[in-house]
């Protein structure tokens, strides 16, 4: 009897415990369902800006190539003869005009030689005048004796002497003429030597360097001054041979110096490839005054590169494995999907990429750190024009 009572009490306790566990389990299920519903609702409340990508068959690759500015013309000026530097008329930075005297040698001896040459010319001219007068007298005498001999009043001997004297006088005239020409040539040489004692500016420009001061002894050909042209400046820029083939001499291109844009006209493209840089030298003319020579100048050049892909903003990219990148795409159910891609070309704010994307996909524009694949979002269109124009 007692055993039955105990068994009855145990059954009642087990029934009560089972009922309690069933109620607790039901409450847990209800809480989980509510939490899941709230989680979906919370995910659905996240707004994500997106843009619709457009497939491209080519992209414009804009590149900048660096070079330096240089003077279109420069000259190191010196004297053709040695001597003492008597006067330097200009200093560094002086603006000079073509033909302007810049420096003089001590030309006292050269001036004396020129005066002597002029005197020799005068002496030769006087000798020529005297020789011509003597020749004229001899000619008159020869003509008179010829008439007398024709009438028998002059001997043949006398006529021959007069005739030969005329020939000698004519020869003396030729000698005097040659002496005058020689004296004139010597005078011209002395004049040229005196002119060469002065350095004149070969073109309009600026004195870049002054190598010597007054009193210095200079040798023939030794540079005294360096003058550079300042109203036309050239830019020498090394570009790849593939780019040089697209450059057209005579066309104008955008050049940048210290962040400022200038228009440079392509003068020529040199045919030889530099052995060190493996580039071709393109020469541009810059009609810009007061521009520092040797400054860095950049050529901005854009080329069309054939290749399928899509333009994407940098804000849409996330790093992936093995050097790849990824973007988030919103599918038709507004669920986030991850797509891998390869960056082909990059610029400041955007990239040209190819990969597992399709035309008209909705790509998350920004805020990729707030979402994960499989998440439900509320898509909001971004400014499509800003994506394409970046």
Under 8 Å between Cβ of 265 and 250: yes
Q: Provide the percentage of residues in the chain whose pLDDT is more than 90.
A: 38
Report the interhelical angle of 156-195 vs 108-150 (nearest 10°). 160
Long-range contacts made by residues 115-123, C-beta under 8 angstroms, separation at least 24?
Answer: 116/190, 117/183, 117/186, 117/187, 117/189, 117/190, 117/191, 118/187, 120/183, 120/186, 120/187, 121/180, 121/183, 121/184, 121/186, 121/187, 123/183
Model pLDDT, residue 387: 45
SS3 assignment, position 182: helix
Under 8 Å between Cβ of 114 and 191: yes
Phi and psi (nearest 5°) for 341? -155, 165
pLDDT digits (tens, 9 = 90+) for 168-223: 989 999 999 999 999 999 999 999 999 999 999 999 989 999 999 999 999 999 99
pLDDT bin (cut points 50, 70, 90) of residue 23 is low
pLDDT digits (tens, 9 = 90+) for 45-91: 688 999 999 988 888 777 888 999 888 888 999 999 899 999 999 99
Model pLDDT, residue 388: 41
Find all residues with CB under 8 Å of 302, minimum gap 6, and list them.
Answer: 60, 61, 62, 63
Rounded to an integer, what distance in angstroms lies between the CA atom of residue 357 and that of residue 362?
A: 10
Under 8 Å between Cβ of 167 and 98: no
Model pLDDT, residue 385: 36
Please state, as a whole number, how many other Cβ atoms lie within 10 Å of the Cβ of residue 200: 14
Model pLDDT, residue 3: 47
Span 332-346, average pLDDT? 90
Q: What pTM value is reported for the model?
A: 0.57
How many Cα atoms within 13 Å fall on the side-chain side of residue 40? 7
Rounded to an integer, what distance in angstroms lies between the CA atom of residue 344 and that of residue 93?
A: 50
Model pLDDT, residue 15: 54
Rounded to an integer, what distance in angstroms lies between the CA atom of residue 16 and that of residue 225?
A: 116
Model pLDDT, residue 207: 93
Rounded to an integer, what distance in angstroms lies between the CA atom of residue 305 and that of residue 100?
A: 54
Find all residues with CB under 8 Å of 357, minimum gap 6, and list them.
Answer: 53, 310, 327, 329, 339, 341, 363
Q: Is the pLDDT of residue 327 over 80?
A: yes
Q: Is the pLDDT of residue 14 over 60?
A: no
Model pLDDT, residue 232: 80
pLDDT bin (cut points 50, 70, 90) of residue 389 is very low
pLDDT digits (tens, 9 = 90+) for 210-261: 999 999 999 999 999 999 987 788 899 999 887 888 888 999 998 888 888 8
Under 8 Å between Cβ of 28 and 344: no
The residue count for the chain: 390
Model pLDDT, residue 301: 84
Rounded to an integer, what distance in angstroms lies between the CA atom of residue 383 and that of residue 375?
A: 23
Q: What is the mean pLDDT of the chain?
A: 84
Q: Find tokens 């919370």 and name the residue.
A: 42
Model pLDDT, residue 290: 58
Under 8 Å between Cβ of 13 and 345: no
40-44, 301-305, 325-329, 367-371: least confidently modelled range: 40-44
Under 8 Å between Cβ of 141 and 159: no
pLDDT digits (tens, 9 = 90+) for 269-315: 988 888 888 889 999 988 766 577 888 999 988 877 788 899 899 99
Burial class of 124 by CB neighbour count within 10 A (0 to 12, 13 to 18, 19+):
buried
**CA distances in angstroms from 189 to 117, 193, 199, listed in the order given:** 9, 6, 17
> Of the candidates 375, 382, 301, which has an alpha carbon nearest to the alpha carbon of residue 338?
375
**CB burial readout 334-358, b (16+ within 10 A) else e:** eebebbebebbbeeeebbbbebebe
Please state, as a whole number, how many other Cβ atoms lie within 10 Å of the Cβ of residue 271: 8
């Amino acid at each position: 009897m007692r055993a039955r009572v105990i068994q009855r009490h145990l059954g009642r306790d087990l029934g009560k415990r089972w009922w309690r566990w069933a109620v607790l389990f039901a409450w847990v299920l209800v809480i989980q369902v509510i939490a899941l519903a709230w989680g979906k609702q919370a995910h659905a409340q996240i707004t994500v800006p997106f843009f619709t990508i457009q497939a491209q068959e080519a992209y414009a690759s804009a590149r900048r190539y660096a070079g330096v500015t240089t003077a279109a013309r420069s000259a190191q000026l010196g004297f053709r003869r040695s001597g003492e530097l008597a006067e330097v008329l200009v200093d560094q930075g002086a603006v000079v005009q073509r033909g302007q005297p810049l420096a003089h040698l001590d030309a006292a001896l050269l001036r004396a030689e020129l005066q002597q040459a002029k005197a020799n010319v005068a002496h030769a001219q006087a000798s020529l005048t005297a020789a011509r007068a003597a020749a004229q007298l001899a000619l008159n005498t020869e003509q008179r004796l010829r008439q007398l001999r024709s009438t028998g009043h002059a001997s043949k001997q006398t006529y021959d002497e007069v005739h030969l004297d005329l020939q000698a006088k004519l020869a003396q005239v030729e000698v005097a003429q040659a002496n005058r020409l020689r004296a004139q040539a010597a005078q011209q040489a002395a004049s040229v030597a005196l002119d060469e004692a002065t350095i004149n500016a070969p073109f309009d420009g600026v004195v870049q360097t002054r190598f010597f001061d007054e009193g210095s002894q200079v040798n023939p050909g030794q540079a005294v001054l360096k003058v550079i042209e300042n109203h036309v400046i050239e830019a020498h820029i090394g570009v790849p041979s593939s780019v040089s083939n697209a450059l057209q001499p005579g066309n104008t291109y955008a050049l940048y110096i210290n962040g400022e844009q200038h228009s440079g006209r392509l003068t020529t493209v040199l045919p030889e490839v530099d052995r060190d840089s493996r580039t071709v030298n393109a020469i541009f003319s810059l009609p810009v005054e007061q521009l520092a020579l040797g400054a860095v100048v950049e050529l901005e050049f854009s080329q069309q590169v054939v290749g399928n892909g899509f333009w994407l903003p940098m804000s849409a990219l996330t790093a992936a494995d093995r050097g790849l990148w990824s973007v988030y795409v919103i599918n038709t159910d507004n669920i986030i999907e991850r797509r891998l891609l390869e960056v082909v070309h990059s610029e400041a704010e955007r990239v040209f990429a190819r990969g597992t994307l399709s035309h008209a996909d909705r790509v998350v524009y920004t805020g990729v750190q707030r979402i994960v694949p499989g998440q439900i979002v509320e898509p909001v269109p971004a400014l499509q024009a800003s994506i394409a124009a970046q």
